[in-house]
Amino acid sequence: METKEELFAHLKDVTRVLEDPLVRRAFIDIDRADFVGEDYKVEAYEDYALPIGYGQTISQPTTVGFMFELLGAREGDKVLDVGSGSGWTSALLSKIVGDKGSVTSLEIITELFELGEKNTKKYALKNLKQVLVKAGQVGIPGKMFDRILVSAKSQELPPDILLQLKDEGVLVIPVKNSIWRIHKTLDGVIESKEYPGFTFVPLK
């Protein structure tokens, strides 16, 4: 795929991960090419992960679209984006939740935090707050979110992450080689579903 339009058509019609109109609109408005390094610009619209340095990647578009469909973020939601890397997922989420929502993105690698800030400044994302955190910090203790997206895998569910999920909230997280969708009901009951067969860089 050589163009943004070809990638969009592939995601919509072939891998079918853009069923949600809010997700579709975000993928149109936010250009993946703005979040890859100069050496990879020619591959920006390919449907695979690309290196962004420091052992990290910008994820495969189909995988991102699939995780966003599971996440189900809506306009006005308060979203936590863990492992924001190049800033692409944070920018997409910012578009999805709109001016009445907010996105807090976390990154532990200083150079990637700075890269994410630089990339997202290409867009007017007033609802996005980017935070540099220490290694091992997966969330923001004491804060609550409607949706939580984690873009790096862990070997088990981080113990404190569910404490930051509101009732009726959704967490999407890779654990080992599966993506898990975890829903907390109004009664605080945890419902989970596993989607196996994915590969992610490790959560540090």
For the segment 115-132, what is each residue's pLDDT rounded down to a tens digit? 999 999 999 899 999 998
pLDDT tens for 136-179 read 777 888 899 999 999 888 888 887 889 999 999 999 999 988 99
pLDDT tens for 63-88 read 999 999 999 999 999 999 999 899 99
Place 134 in a pLDDT band, splitting at 50, 70 and 90: confident
pTM, 2 dp: 0.94
**What was the pLDDT predicted at 136?**
73
**How far, rounded to the nearest angstrom, does the alpha carbon of residue 191 sit from its chain's CA centroid?**
21
SS3 content of the chain, % helix, strand, coil (to 5): 30, 30, 40
Work out the average pLDDT over 53-65: 93
The residues carrying an active-site annotation are: 59
The answer, yes or no, to whether residue 204 has pLDDT greater than 70, is no
DSSP 136-190: T--S-TT--EEEEEE-SBBSS--TTGGGGEEEEEEEEEEETTEEEEEEE-TT--E
